[in-house]
Amino acid sequence: MDAAVTLPARQAAARDRSFDRIRAAAEALVIPIGALAAAMVIFGVFVLVIGKDPLEVYALIWKGGFASNFAWQNTLQRAAPLILTALCVAIPAQAGLVVIGAEGALVLGGLAAAVLGHALSGGSPLAVKLGMALAAMIIGGAWVAVAGALRHYRGVNETISSLLLTYIAIALFNHFVEGPLRDPASLNKPSTMPIGEANMVGLLPGMDVHWGLVYGLVFCTVCYVLVRHTVQGFALRIVGGNVRAARLAGLPVGALILASCFVGGAAAGLAGMLEVAAVHGSANASLIAGYGYAGILVAFIARQNPLAVIPVALLVGGINASGGMLQRRLDLPDATVLVLQGIAFMAILSAETLYGRWRAFQPRGS
């Protein structure tokens, strides 16, 4: 008798739950997209003020970043390093840390890859590539873990220390590239010894984008699963939510903080390895291109979600790709796209406060 009553009730509850889930997903989509739309309108006013047609500017952004096969490849190529450096911010963020030192991990990872790639050149290319990737990830991970350790053991603010560590990393990088590790043949552009054509990471089949894009996508997916669907990931998020509660519950807070920093740094180190192995063929000052800092923007817009990093990196990559179009067609300065990025960043961060405000998106329950 009871069963006859509860079965439809259970079904109804399950239906409500799935509706709740759709409502939550809709909220997570509508708010950032609305914020972006608002940012575009504000940006349009700026464009009007300098006497250009906002519609033409929007059309050029669309055309330069997304409207053709060529534009998409341009966007994807620019997004690839940002995906990895954004993870360097997003993963430690799960433990409640604000780490902004991806640039340092990137350049040192790149340097490690270049040194190892040259030392091993002559070996089987696959092994050399694997060795370069591992070396870059270990060095990059260890570098960011230093900031995590300073935070955990000495109470040093990790945001400041990771930023200062970046300056040290760049100084070390320049010292080695221009000093002990310099290829004597690199006269006016000091570089390390080349890793050799055979050890280069190639392009994706049929595309003008290197394999780094795929590495980034895989890294994001793995991180997402680790953070959202494992016990350790759950523990990490508890540390991020309330570190005292995590301690009381007996969680290994120090190990979790260090591990999250290491994984984040490894992602940035891998980005450095790709710059060396897929683009430059050696380590030189061109590695210091600001990808580490751009990753901060991406991670924050993605609200530190490892999967959301991917579309956001594409968006930022697309805006960067179209920046050239704005310069070439409309003679707008390079700073135009920086203004757009800045407005978008502010709009999305301000929109954070809107979560949970609209009834339509809230769980109904039963």
Partner 1 sequence: MSIDPRRMSRRQILKTLAAVGAVSASSSLWLPRARAADKLVVGVIYVGPKDDYGYSQAQAQAAAAIKKMPGVTVVEQEKVAETTDVQKVMASMIEQDGATLVFPTSFGYFDPHMLKMAEKYPNVRFAHCGGLWTEGKHPKNTASYFGYIDECQYLNGVVAGFATKSKKLGFIAAKPIPQVLRNINAFTLGAQSIKPDITTQVIFTGDWLLPVKEAEAANSLIDQGIDVITMHVDSPKVVVETCERRGIHVCGYHADQSALAPKSYLTGAEWNWLTPYNTHVKDAMSGAPLKNFLRGGLKEGFVKTSAYGKAVPEAARRKADGIKAQMMKGEFVIFKGELKDNAGKVVVPAGTAHKQTDVWLEQMNWLVAGVIGKV
* Residues of the shown chain interacting with partner 1 in the complex, contacts defined by CB under 8 A: 56, 59-60, 62-64, 67-68, 70, 74, 77-78, 171, 174, 178, 187-190, 208, 210, 275, 279-281, 284-286, 289-290, 320-321, 324-325, 327-329, 331, 333-334
CB of 154 to partner 1, least distance (A): 29
Residue 125 or 252 with smaller CB distance to partner 1: 125
Q: What is the spatial distance between Cα 294 and Cα 267, in angstroms, rounded to a whole number? A: 14
Q: What is the spatial distance between Cα 31 and Cα 349, in angstroms, rounded to a whole number? A: 10
CB of 80 to partner 1, least distance (A): 9
HSE-CB of 270 using CA atoms within 13 angstroms: 29
Residue 60 or 263 with smaller CB distance to partner 1: 60
CB of 54 to partner 1, least distance (A): 14
CB of 164 to partner 1, least distance (A): 16
Residue 53 or 352 with smaller CB distance to partner 1: 53
Residue 159 or 327 with smaller CB distance to partner 1: 327
Distance of CA 199 to the CA centre of its chain: 26
Q: What is the spatial distance between Cα 282 and Cα 193, in angstroms, rounded to a whole number? A: 6
CB of 57 to partner 1, least distance (A): 11
Single-letter residue type at 271: A
CB of 140 to partner 1, least distance (A): 18
Residue 96 or 117 with smaller CB distance to partner 1: 117
Please say whether the beta carbons of 204 and 211 come within 8 A: yes
Q: What is the spatial distance between Cα 154 and Cα 166, in angstroms, rounded to a whole number? A: 19
154 contact partners, CB below 8 Å, separation of at least 6: none
Please say whether the beta carbons of 31 and 355 come within 8 A: yes
Q: At what angle do helices 212-229 and 231-241 cross, to 10 degrees?
A: 80
* Alpha-carbon torsion (179, 185, 189, 195), positive or negative: negative
Residue 213 or 226 with smaller CB distance to partner 1: 213
Residue 199 or 320 with smaller CB distance to partner 1: 320
Please say whether the beta carbons of 117 and 191 come within 8 A: no
Q: What is the spatial distance between Cα 5 and Cα 366, in angstroms, rounded to a whole number? A: 16
CB of 66 to partner 1, least distance (A): 9
